[in-house]
C-alpha cells in the first residue's frame, strides 16, 4: 500500500502539469466549500456575539403597548399597572434560570433639562432600584452610586452617564454640580459608564434602531423613589433579569414574562389589556439570522459540489487515459504474476492520491480565500477543523468512486492483449 502511494506520487510528479489540471476541479470545489463554510461559521459567530455578546447577558422584560415599547412621557399612562415590589422580585428570583432582578422606570423628556441655562436636547430619565447598576453592568467612573440615605430621604441626587458628562461638562468634573430638570434642581452624585460586555455591537443604522433607539441621547439616573416627582406615581416599571448563562436567556425571559403578565389588570369587559410585558429574545433572534445565513450557504455548497462532480469526471477521464497509456505496463505486470486486485489497488490508489492532494490544496486555497473575503467584506472567518477533515476525506472518496471504472478496466485487461498493445 505504502509502495502504491509512493508510486502514485512519482506518477503525479512525472506529469506535473496534467495532474495539476486534473486536480483543478477538485481544488476549486473544495476551496469554495471551505471558504463558504469558514465565512458562514464566522458570520454566525459574529451574529451571536453581536446580538447577545460574549460576556454576562441580561434579558430585558419591557412593557409593550400593543406592538410598541411603552415609554413614559410619550403617551397616555396605563392604569392599574402592577408595582414591581419585593414580593414580585422574589417571585422572579425563585425561577431557576434567573440569578438577579432589577426593576426600573424609564421616561423621556424632550426639554427642560440643562446646566446653568444651557439646555440639552432631552434625555432618558431612569428611576433605578438598588440592583440596577450591577445587573445592567454599569461601572462607576467618579463620584458615588445611590445609597439608602438617598432613598429614605428622597434626595434629589442624579447620576449621569459618561457621554452626558463629557458633552455637558467637557473635562470639568461634574460631581456636585447642579442640573436643572423641569425647574427642579438635582445634584450630580456620580458618573457611570456601560461596561458594554453584554451589549450588542452596532454596525449599521438598523442595528442602532433595533437596540439603541430608546437608549439614545443622554441618560440621567435618579432613585426610583424620586422618579415619580418627574413623571407621576402611576407610571409602570420595566424589568431586567440576569440569566444563569447565555443558553438560559430564552427561558429566563419567558418565565419572567409569564410571572409579570399574571399581575396585569384585565379590562372591564374581560378582554386582555393591550399592555403586556415582553422579553427581547436575542438568542432566538440570533438563531433566526444564523438559520438564514446557513440556508444560503447550503445552496452555495450545492453549487460548489457541482465543481467537485466535474472534477471527479476529469479525474475519471485522466485515469482512463493513464490506463490506456500504461496498457503495456499492466500487461507486463500481469505476465510477472500481478493479480487483478494488485492492478486495481494501484490505479485506485493513484486516483485517490490525486484527488486527496487536490483536496489538500483546495483546503489551502479555501482558507486563503476565506481570509481574503474577510479582509474585503469585513466578515470574520472561523476555520472549522472538521470541515477540513471532511473535505479531504470526501475528495479521497471522489477519487475512489471516479477511479473505479478506469481501475476495473485496467485490472480486467488480458495480459497478452495488453503486452501487444501499441
Q: Under the rule (CB under 8 A), what is the footprint of another protein?
A: 3, 10, 14, 328-329, 331-340, 342, 415-416, 419
Rounded least distance, CB 324 to another protein, Å: 17
Whole-angstrom distance, CA of residue 417 vs CA of residue 422: 10
Would you say 338 or 373 has its CB closer to another protein?
A: 338
Nearer to another protein, 134 or 414 (CB): 414
CB of 308 to another protein, least distance (A): 30
* Nearest alpha-carbon partner for 314 in 90, 3, 12, 19: 19
Residues 6 or more apart whose Cβ sits within 8 Å of residue 406: 316, 319, 320, 322, 323, 347, 351
Alpha-carbon distances, residue 174 vs 86, 151, 186, 187, 218 (angstroms): 33, 22, 12, 9, 14
Q: Report the residue number, 7 or 379, with the smaller CB distance to another protein.
A: 7
Pick the closer one to another protein by CB: 170 or 337.
Answer: 337
At its nearest, how many Å lie between another protein and the CB of residue 321?
Answer: 17
Length of the chain: 422
Nearer to another protein by Cβ, of 147 and 325: the residue is 325
CB count in 10 Å sphere of residue 156: 18
- Maximum distance among all Cα pairs of the chain, rounded to whole angstroms: 110
**Residue corresponding to grid cell 447577558:** 57
Q: To the nearest whole angstrom, how small is the minimum distance from the Cβ of residue 365 to another protein? A: 30
Give the burial string for 94-109 (b: 16+ CB within 10 Å, else e): ebebbbbbbbbbbbbb
- Cα atoms in the Cβ-side hemisphere of radius 13 Å centred on 251: 11
* C-alpha to C-alpha distance for 277 and 137, rounded to whole angstroms: 22
As measured in angstroms, the least distance from the Cβ of 334 to another protein is: 7
Closer of 12 and 135 to another protein (Cβ): 12
**Minimum distance between the CB of residue 293 and another protein, rounded to whole angstroms?**
50
Amino acid at each position: 500500500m505504502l509502495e502504491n502511494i509512493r508510486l502514485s506520487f512519482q506518477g503525479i510528479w512525472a506529469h506535473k502539469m496534467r495532474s495539476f489540471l486534473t486536480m483543478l476541479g477538485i481544488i476549486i470545489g473544495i476551496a469554495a466549500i471551505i471558504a463558504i463554510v469558514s465565512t458562514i461559521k464566522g458570520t454566525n459567530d459574529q451574529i451571536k456575539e453581536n446580538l447577545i455578546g460574549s460576556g454576562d447577558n441580561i434579558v430585558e422584560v419591557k412593557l409593550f403597548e400593543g406592538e410598541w415599547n411603552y415609554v413614559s412621557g410619550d403617551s397616555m399612562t396605563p392604569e392599574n399597572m402592577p408595582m414591581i415590589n419585593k414580593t414580585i422580585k422574589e417571585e422572579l428570583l425563585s425561577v431557576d434560570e434567573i440569578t438577579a432582578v432589577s426593576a426600573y422606570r424609564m421616561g423621556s423628556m424632550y426639554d427642560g433639562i440643562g446646566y446653568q441655562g444651557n439646555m440639552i436636547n432631552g434625555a432618558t430619565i431612569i428611576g433605578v432600584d438598588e440592583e440596577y447598576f450591577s445587573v445592567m453592568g454599569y461601572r462607576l467612573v467618579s463620584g458615588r452610586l445611590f445609597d439608602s440615605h438617598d432613598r429614605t430621604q428622597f434626595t434629589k441626587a442624579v447620576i449621569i452617564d459618561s457621554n452626558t458628562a463629557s458633552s455637558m461638562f467637557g473635562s470639568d468634573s461634574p460631581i456636585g454640580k447642579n442640573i436643572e430638570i423641569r425647574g427642579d434642581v438635582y445634584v450630580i452624585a456620580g458618573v457611570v459608564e456601560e461596561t458594554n460586555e453584554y451589549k450588542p455591537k452596532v454596525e449599521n443604522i438598523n442595528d442602532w434602531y433595533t437596540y439603541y433607539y430608546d437608549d439614545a441621547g443622554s441618560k440621567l439616573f435618579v432613585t426610583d423613589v424620586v422618579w415619580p416627582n418627574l413623571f407621576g406615581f402611576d407610571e409602570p416599571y420595566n424589568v431586567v433579569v440576569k440569566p444563569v448563562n447565555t443558553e438560559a436567556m430564552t427561558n429566563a425571559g419567558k418565565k419572567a414574562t409569564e410571572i409579570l403578565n399574571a399581575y396585569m389588570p384585565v379590562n372591564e369587559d374581560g378582554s386582555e389589556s393591550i399592555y403586556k410585558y415582553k422579553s427581547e429574545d436575542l438568542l432566538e433572534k440570533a438563531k433566526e439570522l444564523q438559520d438564514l445565513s446557513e440556508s444560503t450557504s447550503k445552496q452555495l455548497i450545492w453549487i460548489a459540489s457541482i465543481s467537485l462532480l466535474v472534477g471527479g469526471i476529469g479525474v475519471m477521464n485522466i485515469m482512463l487515459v493513464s490506463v490506456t497509456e500504461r496498457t503495456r505496463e499492466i500487461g507486463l505486470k500481469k505476465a510477472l504474476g500481478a493479480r487483478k486486485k494488485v492492478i486495481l489497488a494501484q490505479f485506485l490508489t493513484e486516483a485517490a492520491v490525486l484527488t486527496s492532494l487536490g483536496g489538500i490544496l483546495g483546503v489551502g486555497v479555501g482558507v486563503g480565500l476565506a481570509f481574503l473575503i474577510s479582509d474585503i467584506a469585513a466578515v470574520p472567518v472561523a476555520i472549522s477543523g472538521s470541515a477540513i477533515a471532511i473535505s479531504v476525506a470526501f475528495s479521497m472518496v471522489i477519487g475512489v468512486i471516479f477511479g473505479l471504472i478506469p481501475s476495473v478496466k485496467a485490472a480486467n485487461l488480458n495480459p497478452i492483449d495488453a503486452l501487444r498493445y501499441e
